Amino acid sequence: MTSQAPNDTIAAIGTPPGEGGLCVVRMSGPDSFSIADRVFSGAGQPSACRTHTIHHGYVIDPRRRERVDEVLLSVFKAPRTYTREDLIEFSGHGGMVPGAMILDVLIRSGARLAEPGEFTKRAFLNGRIDLLQAEAVGELIRARTDACARAALRQLNGTCSQQIDEFRVNLIQVIAFIEVTLDFTEEGIPDMEPRTFLAQLHPVQEALDRLIKSSHETRVLRDGVRIALLGKPNVGKSSLLNMLASRDRAIVHPESGTTRDTIEESVDIRGVPVTFVDTAGIRMTSDWVERQGVARSRKELDQADIPLVVFDASCRPDDDDRNLTGQLSRRDCVFILNKCDLDTYDPDSYAEMTAGGRCVRTSATEGTGLDDLLESILEIVQYDPARFESGLVVNARQGDLLNQAKASLDRGIGVLEEGLGAEMAAIDLRDCVRHLGVLVGKEIGDAVLDHVFSRFCIGK
């Protein structure tokens, strides 16, 4: 069973910690107004104010009868509120202390400190949004690029939830027909044959399939891509990182072995959140610190989604280059033939080593080849902005449920196609409905809810 909404009153700071213009403390639940009446001093009592209005005043510590902060108080009366409960927001001065003092007064006056995501959890438990939408709030907060935020917002608007609901309605209709057919087998109902059911199920199967495919494509928006710059010392890895980041992020120097530790930089490439990792040049060395750096570079070679293998193509390949390419057992990588601005540039001498791979010619010092490099990266992540526009941003929970729903539906359709009996198919179809229900948050237990909302920040 789905949990009931709790009936206590919660409070939390809704803005990030630190110095800032404002700090917002929110409070939600049945006692919000009685607590606010006790701690707020302004032109009138909050409980007497019209809903969706803002009032100037002070938060008072009722014990000491002294002002805690000057605030604007926003009044939201149930049910047209974020949580569907009575809700109050105090906008006080930003900073480490004022918000904490307001919160302290609210807690001492009867509110409880909210758990992470509890405001959004209440919006869900009170039926304002479904679980897909609640999770989209979390995605929106965590979004690292515009494209990811837009996708989360679409999900928050309920577009995906509507689609899932349509699937459920269609399946429930078919299950109901099957049950009716079973009840009236004697009389025989001519329209209720497997092909009638199949005609209704196939479009759901196709639409679910499309949703799963598009969710694979949008996964990269949510999780981002980790791309490592690898190569022997001095080939220009740090210079390339600076070119990709459009700033002087890493130290560049003519001496070999400049970069000792891995350096990360987040970049938005046409909506895809990419983390570029600059690494220490891979070579045999007796220097202890450099050896640790090389070990980290090797780890990056395994961990990164895409390795960018950099060569200094103004010199001929040597053993260090050959050793490195020997370790590339695998996967998509991009070979970068750097330093194309130099007279001695000879990319052909690398042809054998890079045979069959994607190659890009660059000059990190002159900024040449950046577009080609970005294109190669987007090709590997199969980025297509048009498809991203309609996709669902799935997390692991949602991905699992979509796949389980699809598997049940496929089984049910298989049973009908083989003429094994509609009552058998109904069992699978019911499973599918159940999985889709859990996806949008119907009939789920506390453990799942706690897991979903524990990943939120406090105050959301």
Chain contacts with ligand GTP (rule: CB under 6 A): 231, 233-239, 252-254, 256-259, 280-281, 338-339, 341-342, 363-365
User: What are 7's two structure tokens?
Assistant: 């009936």
Nearer to Mg ion, 144 or 237 (CB): 237
Q: Hunting for tokens 């539906």 — which residue is that? A: 409
Q: Name the binder of 239 from ligand GTP, Mg ion, none, CB < 5-8 A by kind.
A: ligand GTP
Pick the closer one to ligand GTP by CB: 248 or 417.
248
Residue placing its CB nearer to Mg ion in the complex, 117 or 293: 293
All residues at 6 or more sequence positions from 319 whose CB lies less than 8 Å from its CB, including other chains: none
**Residue 335 to residue 376: CA distance in whole angstroms:** 10
What angle separates helix 118-125 from helix 131-142, to the nearest 10 degrees?
160
d(CA 452, CA 397): 9
Q: Please state the closest distance from residue 237 (CB atom) to ligand GTP, in A.
A: 4
Mask for 30-69, x = binds Mg ion (CB under 5 A):
----------------------------------------
Q: Which does 110 bind (CB under 5 to 8 A by kind): ligand GTP, Mg ion, none?
A: none
Burial class (CB in 10 A: 0-12, 13-18, 19+), 328: middle
Q: Nearer Cβ to Mg ion, position 311 or 388?
A: 311
Residue 434: CB atoms within 10 A of its CB come to: 17
Q: In the complex, what is the shortest distance from the CB of residue 366 to ligand GTP, in angstroms, rounded to a whole number?
A: 7
Question: What CA–CA distance (Å, rounded) separates 27 from 457?
Answer: 15
Cβ-based nearer residue to ligand GTP, 309 or 426: 309
Q: How far is the CB of 384 from Mg ion (least distance, A)?
A: 33
Round to the nearest angstrom and report the end-to-end CA distance of the chain.
Answer: 24
SS (H, E, C) 294-306: HHHHHHHHHHCCE
Pick 28 or 239: Cβ nearer ligand GTP? 239
Cis? peptide before 79, omega within 30° of 0:
yes
User: Closer CB to ligand GTP, residue 83 or residue 279?
Assistant: 279
Q: Which two tokens stand for residue 69?
A: 């902060």
- Name the minimum Å distance from CB 302 to ligand GTP: 19
* Contacted entry of ligand GTP, Mg ion, none for residue 365, CB cut-off 5 to 8 Å set by kind: ligand GTP
* Nearest residue (CB) to ligand GTP, 263 versus 274: 263
Residues 317/349, Cβ–Cβ less than 8 Å? yes
Residues 6+ apart with CB under 8 A from 393: 136, 139, 148, 151, 152, 155, 215, 218, 219, 221, 222
Query: Which of ligand GTP, Mg ion, none sits in contact with 236, Cβ below 5 to 8 A by type?
Result: ligand GTP
Could you give the residue ranges of the DSSP H alpha helices within 184-317?
Answer: 194-223, 237-245, 288-303
The residue among 191 and 255 lying less far from ligand GTP, judged by its C-beta, is: 255
Q: Which residues neighbour 448 within 8 Å (Cβ) at sequence distance 6 or greater?
A: 397, 438
Q: How far is the CB of 359 from ligand GTP (least distance, A)?
A: 15
The pair of structure tokens assigned to 426 is: 């109904």
Q: Under the criterion CB under 5 A, does residue 238 sit at the interface with Mg ion?
A: yes
Task: Select from 34-42, 177-185, 258-266, 382-390 the region that touches Mg ion (CB under 5 A).
Answer: 258-266
> Is there binding between residue 259 and Mg ion (CB under 5 A)?
yes
Shortest reach from residue 312's CB to ligand GTP, in Å: 7
Q: How many residues bind Mg ion (CB under 5 A)?
A: 4
Q: Which of ligand GTP, Mg ion, none has residue 363 at its interface (CB below 5 to 8 Å by kind)?
A: ligand GTP
What's the min distance (Å) between Cβ of 78 and ligand GTP?
Answer: 59
From the list ligand GTP, Mg ion, none, partner contacted by residue 364 (C-beta under 5 to 8 A by kind): ligand GTP
Does position 28 interact with Mg ion (CB under 5 A)? The reply is no
Residue 215 interacts with Mg ion (CB under 5 A)?
no
Count helices and strands (H / E) in the chain.
15, 13
Q: Kindly tell me the sign of the dihedral angle through the C-alpha atoms of 43, 47, 50, 52.
A: positive
Q: Which residues bind Mg ion (CB under 5 A)?
A: 237-238, 258-259
